[in-house]
Amino acid sequence: MRKVGAVAAAVAGLALVAGCGSHVSPTERAGIPRDAGPGASPAGAPTPNAADVAAQWAKWGLKPLPPAPPAPARPAIALKAKGPVPVFSSVPTKDRVVFVTLDDGNEKDPEFLQMLADLRVPVSMFLTDAAIRDNYGYFRTLQSSGATVQNHTVDHPQLPLLGYEGQRRELCDDQKTLEREYGTRPTLLRPPYGEWNSLTQQAAAACGIRGIVLWRASFQIHDFQYDDPEKKFRPGDVLLAHFRGPKELKGETLTEMFAHLLKVVRRQGFAVARLEDYVRTP
């Protein structure tokens, strides 16, 4: 994927650290506490001890990540109900956390369902209807493990090549499908190829989308491609990966790719936090 020149870490309309209010996170709706980090269990289930968590991670050849801090009482990026839709690729925070996002939905590796259920790593899924409509249930299972559902258009077009109405259809139709299938209306958009323009912001607002999410580093098979010339994460970076399979990963699986991703995150000393706990309506 590539990003057009208009991409910036934040643009006009970004409202930072607004006042707090009542908020039920997507993970609370799934029965997972807001301050739960990797390895967390749904509400009512026994809280696993450190040895149990280590054993779960060892099943996948991994060591546990550092625990994420509790979700902030106030959003780092406060999404407004009206006004310009902000565009961002990182979140302003001093917490040593990164945010993992998975795009499209083409690959549906059954082992990945068990991996996410075991590890409880928070991920935001930006789903394309054309990629997921053959198996909506696969992503419902991931949602039950705490993954959140966001918008990635119906057909994965280059949005700037469409007029306003074309963009609005791509976004609004995906909104309707995702709300119908997953019981939650997305508030965030990942534009295909990272390409967007002012009409994308207008169409997003018309469809109830409150933020456009880009990325600071994208995962390939064994490592990241970084926007940062120092080739390292910074607190609040959004990380991009895809639901890809052996054909795109030179014989490796989605599950193997995700394990490589987690090893890099751990090697750099970061925790994985839930994007929707930092970017939300106050």
pLDDT of residue 235: 98
pLDDT of residue 36: 45
Mean pLDDT (10-residue bins), the chain, 282 residues: 40 35 40 46 61 95 96 96 95 98 98 98 98 98 98 98 98 98 97 98 98 97 94 97 97 98 98 98 84
pLDDT of residue 49: 86
pLDDT of residue 62: 98
pLDDT of residue 11: 37
Separation of alpha carbons 11 and 84, rounded Å: 9
* Sequence-separated (6 or more) residues with CB below 8 Å from residue 187: 79, 150, 208, 209, 210, 211, 276, 280, 281
**145 in Cβ contact with 117 (< 8 Å):** yes
pLDDT of residue 282: 80
CATH code of 17-280, in short, is 3.20.20.370
Domain range list for the chain: 17-280
Q: β-strand 238-242 against 217-219: which pairing, if any? A: parallel
